[in-house]
Structure formats: structure tokens, C-alpha cells
């Protein structure tokens, strides 16, 4: 019951502040995770990243050379979702929230240093990473837990909304699904709809699982 109340309270906060500047940095981090998922998938499938950019309008792009196009195009939305689910499950299960926040901060900094291609991406990526390290160093464990869950849930809510907006309601946009339809076959709506269904199923089972979990280990 406590986990359910905490979850509903966080979702309520996110919905209430969805259009406010409060969640703007979290939404930009979702974009960062989206684009970094494209980049990581490119590297893992033998390609190279030529350009990695996020912008203040909550957009971004990755220009790559080589790699498996099906995997790299699919990795954007579903990879971003995986970031959110992993962060949420880790924060729910472990007492080591400060370590998790620090690890996430280091990951963001490393991805920024090795992949980012413009000044805003550098400023945001390095700034976000440093702030996470400061959270981990100076804030109590419970505040790190709150931060991680808020970030993860924002990510998990943002992904299906973004999929619907970019690939279904505005299927004419040159989105990941649009390019996948061009290069692999099918239609933008087909790929977007498939990603939407997958994201909703994954989110449902992630939250269902989290409600039955207890923290493990001792507080750090």
C-alpha cells in the first residue's frame, strides 16, 4: 500500500507539473536518453556516430555511419524506455540510491564527452551529470530515491506520448518510424503503433512488479 501511494503521488506530481518549467530538465534528459540510445545502438552494431545533438526545444538527432539500421532506428524510443524502466526498478529495489544517482551522473557525463557535438548538448549533459553527482554526494538517500523515481516515471510517461505524437497523430513527420518504414517496409503508423503497444506493456508490468518489491541491502 505504501508503494502504491508513493507511486500515485509521484504520477500526480508529474501530471500536475507536466507543462510547467519544473519538469523541463527531466524532459530534456528523456531526449538525451533517446538520442544516446540511437548512438549506443549504432556503436554496438559496428557503426560510428558522426553527430549527437539535443536542443532546447526538446528535440535532437544523431547522424551515424554504418551499423544495423533496424536496430539503431528502433533503439530511440524503446532504448529511452529501457533507461526509464531500469532506473525505476533499481531505485525501487535497492537502498543504494546515492550510488545509483552517482552512476547515472557519470554515465551522462561520459556519453556527453564522447558523443556530443554542439555547445548546448555539452552544457546540458555535463551540467546534468555534475548535478547528479552533487545530489549523490550531499543529499540524503531518500531524496536521491525521490529524484530517481521522478526522473524514471517522467521518462516512462514521456515515451508513449512522444511515440503517439510523432508517429501516429503526426505520421507525416520524418520520425524514426517514418525512416524505418522507408528502409525496412511497412508504414509509419504500423511501426509507431507497435512501439506504443510495447511501451505500454513494459510500463504496466514494470509498475506492477515494483508494487510488490521491498528494498534490499543496508542504506549507504
pLDDT in tens, 158-196: 999 999 999 998 888 889 999 999 999 999 999 999 999
Tally of domains in the chain = 1
Q: What is the pLDDT of residue 193?
A: 96
pLDDT above 70 (res 217):
no
Q: What is the pLDDT of residue 218?
A: 43
Taking only the tens place, the pLDDT of each residue in 193-215 is 999 999 999 999 999 998 887 76
Residue 153, in any domain of the structure: yes
Residue 47, in any domain of the structure: yes
Domain that holds residue 57: 23-210
pLDDT above 80 (res 36):
yes
Q: What is the pLDDT of residue 216?
A: 61
Averaged pLDDT of the chain:
92
Report which secondary-structure segment, H or E, holds 62. Answer: strand 59-65
| CA–CA dist 141, 146 (Å, integer) | 9
C-alpha grid cell, residue 35: 538520442
Q: Which residue has the higher pLDDT, 95 or 180?
A: 180
Residue 8, in any domain of the structure: no
Q: Which residue has the higher pLDDT, 99 or 172?
A: 99
Inter-CA distances, 155 with 27, 83, 145, Å: 7, 8, 15
Amino acid at each position: 500500500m505504501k508503494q502504491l501511494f508513493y507511486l500515485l503521488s509521484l504520477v500526480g506530481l508529474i501530471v500536475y507539473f507536466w507543462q510547467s518549467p519544473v519538469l523541463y530538465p527531466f524532459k530534456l534528459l528523456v531526449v538525451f536518453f533517446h538520442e544516446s540510445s540511437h548512438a549506443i545502438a549504432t556503436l554496438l552494431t559496428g557503426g560510428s556516430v558522426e553527430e549527437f545533438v539535443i536542443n532546447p526545444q526538446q528535440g535532437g538527432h544523431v547522424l551515424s555511419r554504418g551499423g544495423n539500421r533496424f536496430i539503431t532506428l528502433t533503439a530511440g524510443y524503446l532504448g529511452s524506455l529501457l533507461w526509464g524502466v531500469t532506473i525505476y526498478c533499481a531505485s525501487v529495489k535497492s537502498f543504494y540510491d546515492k550510488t545509483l544517482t552517482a552512476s547515472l551522473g557519470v554515465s551522462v557525463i561520459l556519453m556527453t564527452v564522447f558523443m556530443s557535438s554542439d555547445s548546448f548538448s555539452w552544457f546540458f549533459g555535463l551540467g546534468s551529470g555534475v548535478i547528479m553527482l552533487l545530489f549523490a554526494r550531499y543529499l540524503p538517500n531518500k531524496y536521491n530515491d525521490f529524484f530517481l523515481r521522478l526522473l524514471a516515471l517522467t521518462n516512462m510517461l514521456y515515451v508513449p506520448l512522444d511515440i503517439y505524437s510523432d508517429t501516429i497523430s503526426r505520421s507525416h513527420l520524418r520520425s524514426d518510424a517514418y525512416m524505418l518504414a522507408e528502409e525496412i517496409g511497412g508504414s509509419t503508423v504500423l511501426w509507431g503503433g507497435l512501439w506504443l503497444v510495447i511501451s505500454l506493456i513494459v510500463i504496466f508490468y514494470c509498475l506492477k512488479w515494483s508494487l510488490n518489491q521491498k528494498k534490499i541491502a543496508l542504506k549507504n
